[in-house]
Structure 1
Amino acid sequence: MGDRGGGSEGEASEADEGADAPHVGIVVYGDLDARSGGFLYDRRLADHLAARGWTVEVVSLPERSYRRSLLTNLAPGLVDRLERFDVVVEDAYCGPSLFLANRRVGTPVVALVHYLRSAVVGEAVGDRAVRAIERDYLRTADAYVFNSRPTREAVAELCGVDDTGEQPPFPGIVAPPAGDRLGTAPALSGDRLTRDPFRVVAVGNVTPRKGITTLIRGLSLLDDGIDWRLRVVGDVGVAPEHVASLRALADRRGVADRVAFAGRVDDDALREELRSAHLLAVPSRYEPFGIVYLEGMAFGLPAIASANGGASDFVGDHNGALVPPDDAEAVADAVGPLARDRDRLRRLSEGARETFREHPTWEETCGRVRRFLRGIVEGETGEGPDAAVGSGNSHE
């Protein structure tokens, strides 16, 4: 376990928990500080709680193959470790390693749900065994923090009814992640708006789930009058065979000279990529939330986003478009009008910036989760969106 203590002296003035600040365990795979994606949420929350006087310990579980991860439930001392805390926050991605252990834990367990294996389209993760384990894990939680309303709805649908024929309760809050990590730029205007070629940027580790295959196919369907370029920014070493297939696809489609793979870049270089683009497009097979869409919107980029996942909470025809998984024609239909009509692109760019401005910051999101967790520790109940529950464990 890594101990984050109670925050620095400069942060102490913001602490609102006093001497009775709770002791919270945050359960993740591997090293929290070295993770990206959804684990950024876990890291932000850990830092926020520590800065406000909470004693935060990170319970690091070994990340193994799916089948081997099931054995973690039997690891000596795991249940005792979780029993030490006032409340346990578990990244739900770790569910395969916890669904049996949680049944023996008396401490309130809060599942932080930002990814569902069973929701991924086109990958062998939706079989009955995986769905059953994910459902069983989610039913062991006492309360939930969801990254979006679609995630909450997906959990309710997945869990269905329990053995008694009743819909299990899902006490919790929706607390979306923020997209304010990289800074901002104004909405598209002037030369940045009108220059050619039309520049599309895709950001994320280059894996099959990210839908770059669909993106290249969609862009290749655009009429010859549209001069476009695609920059794919993200780690190409995670799935090198897939990257090779993308290069081959671009070659077959006759667009290899329009598609560039920038690889993994630092934040300064990523900011420049966003400032140089007209549009951000990540038509994933499944995107649990899509922080990258918000990060692009902060730079005035409309988003072509996955319709499967949490992006529907904030992406729409006012700031981009939602496209179904693996639908290249939908990508072409979304991109073409923006490339041809720069006034329309400008309006969506302004809508994107407005969406970003109205979206909660990390400080606001983590503060909401902190209040929710405090209510659980104190055994409070309520009906509002920030209501906490403390009605005892449901692990039997």
Structure 2
Amino acid sequence: MHIGLILYGSLDTLSGGYLYDRMLVQALEEAGHRVTLFSLPWRSYPRHLTDNWRPSWRARLLAAPVDLWLQDELNHPSLFWFNRILRTRHPAPIVSIIHHLRSSEAHPRPLSVLYRWIERMYLASVDAFLVNSHTTLATVRGLFAVTQGLEPTRWPAHVAYPAADHLPAQPEINAEAIAARALLTDRLRVLFVGNLIPRKGVHLLLDALARVGEGIELTIVGSLDPHNDYANFLQRKIRTLRLHSQVRFTGRVNETELVSLYRSHHVFAAPSYEGFGIAYLEAQRFGLPVIALTIGAASEVVIDGRTGVLVKPGDSAAIAAAFQRFSSDRNLLLAMGLAARLRYTLHPTWEESMGAAVRWLESTATPIGRAGEPSPGSRG
């Protein structure tokens, strides 16, 4: 089968969503399928909307000799209108790979209304959904709940979880190493890994750190692009709160360096809404309890009170309380660390998860309905 994958920029882009896409492409190619990338340059949201009427882009897709379209949902502004033409003039079914809906984020009301409308238009224009969590699938279906005449369960769907066995972490950490790390009496070391953007909530970690005082360190892993306004804001906040001795920025790191950071820290914290949150699973692989949110898919990865702590959005006081508990009760830290490691071992590997996704795509590509009438049913 010849598959066309539509995305922005390079497949090698550093993010959890692009990692997912790379692992899916690898699994498809290992199964004997051919994958051709159809890439658009990164631009602003309004400029992406104009892609729907760009003649060269439309002509390229309509002439593509592919049997199946895979579209990263991140590209929805470039496809929300043109997909209706693509579906009627090109025989290949369209499957959307959905990691996270833009409309699920907090925006000013006018933008929220616009994003919901455009994203709903896009989702209604595809034939099936490949999603990274049950939370994401429920969010997708929730967009249709207010639209008369559209029954969201008629779109075939498959949940294929991300995994965390891509990191070069041999030998795997064991219970003895987790215990030795947890029972050390030095400062509690908290780790954040992710893009430095407002929705990731790093400022909440700084507020929590300011509440607990000295005795806890925070390492922030993420690109320190000088043009990143949020990264600059965080650095100013550190100066204002006088947290210089407790906070360290690493900038972007390679996989070997990331593994070393996971091994040397006690707790992972990322108080953001996530469609899945691969970093949560990566942290649990190394026996780190996770501090995450009660919303989003964190609850599919983190067991509150057993492998970590789930807090309400914006609640820096609850984050501070979790920091203090882990710092003062090292037996609790150890118990949750061991439970986190066990949780990771029970999770599917990339090979298992993407293998199931490939088999679903193979079985779904042919029977999908066309021209606005998706086949009934849902998998996953």
TM-score (norm 1): 0.85
- Matched to 2:372, the amino acid is S
> CA contact under 8 A between 1:207 and 1:239: conserved in structure 2?
no
- Matched to 1:254, the amino acid is R
SS in 2 for 1:38: helix
1:86 counterpart = 2:71:
no
Q: 2:156 aligns with which of 145, 155, 171?
A: 171
- Matched to 1:333, the amino acid is A
Alpha-carbon shift at residue 79 of structure 1 (Å): 4.7
Q: Distance in 1 between matches of 2:149 and 2:319?
A: 44
Higher mean C-alpha displacement, 331-340 vs 358-367:
331-340
1:228 counterpart = 2:216:
yes
Change (3 A) 1:371 1:77: farther
Which residue matches 1:392?
370
Change (3 A) 1:23 1:240: closer
Q: Distance in 2 between matches of 1:124 and 1:250?
A: 31
> CA contact under 8 A between 2:188 and 2:326: conserved in structure 1?
no
Which residue matches 2:299?
312
Alpha-carbon shift at residue 287 of structure 1 (Å): 1.8
SS in 1 for 2:369: coil
Alpha-carbon shift at residue 129 of structure 1 (Å): 1.1
Q: Distance in 1 between matches of 2:224 and 2:13?
A: 18
> CA contact under 8 A between 2:9 and 2:41: conserved in structure 1?
yes
> CA contact under 8 A between 1:102 and 1:395: conserved in structure 2?
no
Change (3 A) 1:122 1:197: farther
Aligned residues: 362
Which residue matches 2:365?
377
Alpha-carbon shift at residue 166 of structure 1 (Å): 4.7
Which residue matches 1:3?
none
Which residue matches 2:198?
208
Alpha-carbon shift at residue 208 of structure 1 (Å): 1.4
Q: Distance in 1 between matches of 2:137 and 2:95?
A: 14
Higher mean C-alpha displacement, 115-124 vs 149-158:
115-124
Q: Distance in 2 between matches of 1:125 and 1:374?
A: 40
SS in 2 for 1:321: strand
> CA contact under 8 A between 2:280 and 2:290: conserved in structure 1?
yes
- Matched to 1:321, the amino acid is V
Change (3 A) 1:250 1:142: same
> CA contact under 8 A between 1:206 and 1:239: conserved in structure 2?
no
Matched ranges for 1:10-49 at <5 A: 22-49=1-28
1:302 counterpart = 2:280:
no
> CA contact under 8 A between 1:211 and 1:325: conserved in structure 2?
no
Q: Distance in 2 between matches of 1:349 and 1:191?
A: 10
Alpha-carbon shift at residue 125 of structure 1 (Å): 8.7
1:98 counterpart = 2:79:
yes
- Matched to 1:301, the amino acid is L
> CA contact under 8 A between 2:80 and 2:121: conserved in structure 1?
yes
SS in 2 for 1:127: helix
Alpha-carbon shift at residue 305 of structure 1 (Å): 1.5
- Matched to 1:50, the amino acid is E
> CA contact under 8 A between 1:305 and 1:322: conserved in structure 2?
yes
Change (3 A) 1:238 1:156: farther
Higher mean C-alpha displacement, 265-274 vs 125-134:
125-134
Gaps of 5+ in 2: 375-380
Q: Distance in 1 between matches of 2:189 and 2:331?
A: 16
Q: Distance in 2 between matches of 1:217 and 1:372?
A: 45
Alpha-carbon shift at residue 171 of structure 1 (Å): 1.7
Q: 1:57 aligns with which of 24, 27, 36?
A: 36
1:117 counterpart = 2:106:
no
- 1:26-54: CA deviations, max 9, x gaps? 11111212443311111111121112210
Which residue matches 1:12?
none
Change (3 A) 1:123 1:202: farther
Higher mean C-alpha displacement, 334-343 vs 160-169:
160-169
Matched ranges for 1:278-293 at <5 A: 278-284=266-272, 286-293=273-280
Q: Distance in 1 between matches of 2:50 and 2:363?
A: 33
Higher mean C-alpha displacement, 249-258 vs 46-55:
249-258
- Matched to 1:195, the amino acid is T
Alpha-carbon shift at residue 256 of structure 1 (Å): 2.2
Q: Distance in 2 between matches of 1:260 and 1:320?
A: 23
- Matched to 1:37, the amino acid is G
Higher mean C-alpha displacement, 166-175 vs 271-280:
166-175
Q: Distance in 2 between matches of 1:166 and 1:180?
A: 37
> CA contact under 8 A between 1:118 and 1:125: conserved in structure 2?
no
Higher mean C-alpha displacement, 167-176 vs 260-269:
167-176
Gaps of 5+ in 1: 1-21, 380-389
Change (3 A) 1:96 1:316: same
- 1:220-258: CA deviations, max 9, x gaps? 222x5x611111111111753322322332233332211
1:360 counterpart = 2:354:
no
Which residue matches 2:378?
none
Change (3 A) 1:393 1:323: farther
SS in 2 for 1:196: coil
Which residue matches 1:13?
none
Q: Distance in 1 between matches of 2:38 and 2:125?
A: 18
Q: Distance in 1 between matches of 2:226 and 2:292?
A: 22
- 1:185-207: CA deviations, max 9, x gaps? 23421255323111111111222
SS in 1 for 2:12: helix
> CA contact under 8 A between 1:215 and 1:328: conserved in structure 2?
yes
Which residue matches 1:245?
233
> CA contact under 8 A between 1:205 and 1:236: conserved in structure 2?
no
- Matched to 1:74, the amino acid is W
Which residue matches 1:128?
113
Q: Distance in 2 between matches of 1:219 and 1:259?
A: 9
Q: 2:180 aligns with which of 190, 211, 215?
A: 190
